[in-house]
Structure 1
Amino acid sequence: MKKVIERAPSVNEAIEKVVKRYGLEENEYTVNVLEKGFQGIFGLFSKEAVVEVSIKKSYFERRLREFLEDILSVVDNNVKVSVRSSGRSFFVDVDSENVGRLIGKHGKTLGALQHITMIFLNRLSDTKLNVILDMGDYREKRRKSLEKIVEEAVKKALSEKTKVMLDPMFAFERRQVHKLVKKYKGVTSYSVGVEPYRRVVIEYVGTKREGRRRHDIKESI
């Protein structure tokens, strides 16, 4: 996730500098000593110690949990945040008595919180990380809702041989829509506009047979 190279008169001092700078806790990092250093003789020929500190996922999980708990405590002092990670993705689940308020209308507050946590986490890391935030199983409920929305939009696009523009959605919702559209033949999907008003368009493209028929007609002309 992140590696830090530090120099100091001794190995322990170099490690301590990194630990204090990032607020690392025990078992949240490993150390690779690159140079042990040398105090020299009467101050002559001294050489600094060089260490490489690798910061573990557990550090990012803790920082992300603390960050969200601090923000959400304004709404609920008893809010509980759990974080787990897999690869470069961090899955966050929030349990609160005011979950409806935290999700917001059409998930707007949830989407904003996810965006903020994504920025926060990536500022800590050397590599791009992804945050998937959920509250009260909102994502699963929204997924089922999107399935119905896509089904109706696809039917309209196919029956009228046209394009259907959906309402603005968050990035994680648009990704779900694109994935769902791939299950249908004769339509394709793409996104238009800029955040936060970016939308998915589901467009009729026809079948391969229709495509060949149009090609044959064109060739005969």
Structure 2
Amino acid sequence: MSTFTAKTVDEAIKKGLSELNLNKDNSKINIVQNSRKGFLGIGKRDAIVEIDKIVTSQPKQVNNDEQTNNNSKSEAHFDEETKVKTKSRKDANEEAIEDLIAYLAPIVKELGIEAKLDYEVINRKFARINFQTDQEGILIGKHGLTINALQSLAQIYLNHLGFSRLLIQLDTADYRHRRVETLKKLAEKTAREAVATGQPVYLDPMPSFERKVIHTQLENSSHVETYSSGRDPYRSVVVEAKII
């Protein structure tokens, strides 16, 4: 199988078919790598395709035993293809995260933060990048402002690469876990305040994943109810007493 490279997949295929003197009907085309325009000049790459000639053979009569054997082979081949596709998705996710790290690293350095970035792909829809640094406070920022901004930027970058279904979480020094516990306590404290005053309490603006913690913590409360108000990035949770 011959490999061809060009700025786009279509150009690579056209180039390969021309050089091999083939057309799409009598060739097998495998897209090894899609092209990327990059984001702010980072992550740009060409498309790569593999092309091979399809060799046709004359059909032959097969007996029942041979047919059963062929069916078993087809099922085994299908299972193998499924494994390859699953593995390819995992590899693609890991490659996207590595591109993301290459994008984030210079940004973090420009903030004056020395950090080592490690990643873990949890599943097909979720991955985590952890920053190992002695400057956690600067990286996190007040109320998580800096790390949340970096996380939003990271998600935008993944969307740009075509991985909008892959959610990313940035963390350092177990900040995310500690923040969740803080938000749960804030939810309970705010609920008591709303009941005591009889007035709705507006919390500071938060990203959606932090607002969800507040909503979840109070969703079964018989005394208060919650809803979100405003537009991102200034959307916040409102806690108010239920009217009985």
Please confirm whether the aligned pair reaches a TM-score higher than 0.5, indicating the same fold: yes
Does 1:67 pair with 2:103?
yes
Q: For 1:93-132, list aligned pairs within 5 A.
A: 93-125=130-162, 127-132=164-169
State the distance in 2 between where 1:185 and 1:88 align.
34
What is the aligned partner in structure 1 of residue 60 from structure 2? none
- Residues 103 and 126 of structure 1: CA distance in aligned 2, closer, same or farther (over 3 Å): closer
Match of 1:171 among 170, 191, 208: 208
State the distance in 2 between where 1:100 and 1:164 align.
28
Q: Percent identity?
A: 29
SS at match of 2:120: strand
Say which structure is richer in helix.
2
TM-score (norm 2): 0.63
TM-score (norm 1): 0.69
What is the aligned partner in structure 2 of residue 57 from structure 1? 93
In structure 1, the gaps of 5 or more residues are: 39-52, 211-221
* AA matched with 1:61: I
What is the aligned partner in structure 2 of residue 49 from structure 1? none
Deviation by residue 1:181-200 (Cα, 9 ceiling, x = unmatched): 11422322111112232110
State the distance in 2 between where 1:149 and 1:175 align.
13
Q: CA deviation at 1:150?
A: 0.8
Q: CA deviation at 1:123?
A: 0.7
Does 1:187 pair with 2:224?
yes
What is the aligned partner in structure 2 of residue 136 from structure 1? 173
State the distance in 2 between where 1:191 and 1:157 align.
15
Task: Give every structure 1 segment of 4 or more consecutive aligned residues whose post-TM-superposition deviation is greater than 4 Å.
Answer: 10-16, 19-24
Q: CA deviation at 1:15?
A: 4.9
State the distance in 1 between where 2:221 and 2:229 align.
20
Deviation by residue 1:158-192 (Cα, 9 ceiling, x = unmatched): 33443211112222211111111114223221111
SS at match of 1:107: helix
Q: Is the 8 A contact 2:9 2:34 kept in 1?
A: no
- Residues 144 and 127 of structure 1: CA distance in aligned 2, closer, same or farther (over 3 Å): closer
Q: CA deviation at 1:13?
A: 9.4
Q: CA deviation at 1:110?
A: 0.8
State the distance in 1 between where 2:202 and 2:188 align.
13
Q: Is the 8 A contact 1:192 1:198 kept in 2?
A: yes
